[in-house]
Structure 1
């Protein structure tokens, strides 16, 4: 998945925040983190499903996925996001459920 770390999350945990920039092009990504995740939309439109709720975020919007919740993120066309991860001092593992193309 295209992206880059701005503040690298350490595999051994972190006490501040971690920050990445990433994008989706006609694709969806599903994962679960043991920490809160905030996604600020920089470009395009991001759809997020978590805890039975679906939200659509446009440029300038922020969506939070709570710790322990599964987040399903998708961009029918394109979305570029800044993700901020809350502290994870114990270095608990995240679970990736994968990337799926939406255009076939």
Structure 2
């Protein structure tokens, strides 16, 4: 049994991973605004996910601006799936036992 993933389990990182799992990639500002956190907090959390090999950050120049895109790697998607499986197992322990 893999157990909880300590990298993903932190609240902001779990939310970031959940948002990114539903899409191919999201723009940095979309994730930041959805979570209501600062640029620096999101950057710090993404660095942790990147160091684990769970996420990528891609800067794309567009006209006069640079857009930053965040995405989960295949390894990150698998780690999130395993983490969610463990959370579901734990949650099931709280269900009433029927006899």
TM-score (norm 1): 0.29
- Structure of higher CA gyration radius: 2
TM-score (norm 2): 0.30
Whose strand fraction is larger, Structure 1's or Structure 2's?
1
Of structures 1 and 2, the one with the larger relative CO (CA 8 A, separation 6+) is 1
Whose helix fraction is larger, Structure 1's or Structure 2's?
2
